[in-house]
Structure 1
Amino acid sequence: MDGKGEVDMTKKEMLGQMEELRSTCVDICTNLWNNPESGGNEQKSADMIRELLHHEGFVIVNEEHLPHAFYAEYGSGKPVIAVLGEYDALPGLSQKCQITKEPVTPGAAGHGCGHNLLGAGAVTGAIMIKRFLEQEGIPGTLRFYGCPEEELLSGKSKNGILSYV
């Protein structure tokens, strides 16, 4: 930021960086789609996202009561910016990546609610926000919340994880 509080990164630069993240977003989305894990079983999904965020400089904090839940944090102080990413699949919605309905494995889990898209978009969005804050020297805390099995309403708010935001 300049001395007047104006952002130095131009719109063109930001769009360029977002374009650089496109393949990352597509890879995450495709990986989640091809490896659907139902609520409570999201080990590979959570690990993939944790690894990517760790590589981007986030500090990973795992939730002891929910093994596939975590938050990834960058920066410190206020404001606190939160991004929530879902990655669980739903039972019985196995689907090949095509327009017509055809399960990969009949009866198996699949991404019927688009959590592969939500998770991928949230992760790459968090990375872009982090890069922007870092490049512009803007203070604050960015937290990405990895959110498994949210349909069960079982976890983060009950355990106080979201109270920081």
Structure 2
Amino acid sequence: MKNRYRIDHKLDDARQKEKDGDLKAAEKLYLKVLKTSSSTSIAYDRLMIIYRRQKDSRKEVEIIKQAISNFKMNYLERQKGWIERNEIAAGLSKDLAISLGLMDKEGLPVFPDPLLVKWQNRLVLLEKRMEKGKRAKKVKPPKSVKTSGNEKKSASAMKTKSTSRK
């Protein structure tokens, strides 16, 4: 109970730091919360938002992957504990859930938690954006040269004009 109180207190402090614009301090507090309790989804969500506001896609991707991994691991641990306490019911429930298509053969739900779906969708979107950014950096546009007036011409267009006048 005391542990939960400390986590809630740290979360409140982090939110206040975030509201005050001190994103670095808020980030540190959220990371401390995750060290104490890796299943605190609020801390993951807020860190994702902080990294998005800082335009740090790499850190955002890392925290999303960590959140998804910990979420799945915690889900499996809770499920394993329930199965150990309720062996007969668990066997019947698992067989029924598999036959109804609600669970795969590994025991994971086919329709995952909405929070997990949100994180997975964000991860896919970020990875696509980052890949697109890498491709854009590889293809360099021609250098622009200012002309009289407000228009710009590419350096290659300027060379073409100068060679055709000769």
Q: What TM-score, normalized to structure 2?
A: 0.28
More strand by share: 1
Structure ranking higher on relative contact order (CA contacts 8 Å, 6+ apart): 1
User: Whose helix proportion is higher, 1 or 2?
Assistant: 2
Bigger CA radius of gyration: 2
TM-score where L is the length of structure 1: 0.28
